[in-house]
Amino acid sequence: MTHLRLIRRLITPPGWQAPTVLRHGGLRAEALTRHHLVDDVRGINASIRLIRRTRGGRWPTAPVTEESNYVDLVWHECEFRDKESFAYAVFAEERYIGNCYLYPVGRRTPATPELLEHDVDLSWWVTPDAYAGGLYAALHRALNEWATTDFPFTHPHFSNIEMPA
């Protein structure tokens, strides 16, 4: 049996609401919305090569425009509202440094029997300045804590291709 097209839905308790703000050390994450458009476009476009090297995946392939990214941000808002995935804009001392994502297993990375044992797929990216300042690893630690303390997940999978030591 092939599992490649399976997506394991995120399971949350009835009535549970995802936090709109998360904090860990000097990092703050806010639910990603269209209000982050300018910072998000600037951050993505400054980070394309770094995102491809650290997060991997099919996105981004080229600079994004405000018009195209607006559509993506509204999509993230709708998925957050419907509890289908959770995307956050991340800040360090009020400076936008990147994004993190909690996705259903199988959406970002093709499902395997081993991968389907996990209950959430975590990924993230940061800007080059944030990476140079050690915030890539700091966000990994924060995301690991958030997934199991602020969210009802117990067995997260990190799908970035570069994992901090």
Work out the number of other CB atoms within 10 angstroms of the CB of residue 132.
Answer: 11
**Phi, then psi, of 98 in degrees rounded to 5:** 155, -160
Residues contacting 35, CB < 8 A, separation 6+: none
pLDDT tens string 99-141: 999 999 988 888 888 888 999 999 999 999 999 999 999 999 9
CA dihedral 159, 31, 11, 123 (to 10 degrees): 0
CB contact at 8 A, 60 and 44:
yes
- Domain 21-158 annotated CATH 3.50.50.60: no
pLDDT tens string 45-68: 999 999 999 999 889 999 999 999
Residues contacting 13, CB < 8 A, separation 6+: 152
pLDDT tens string 6-32: 788 899 999 999 999 999 999 999 999
Q: Angle at which helices 66-81 and 37-54 pack, to 10 degrees?
A: 90
pTM: 0.94
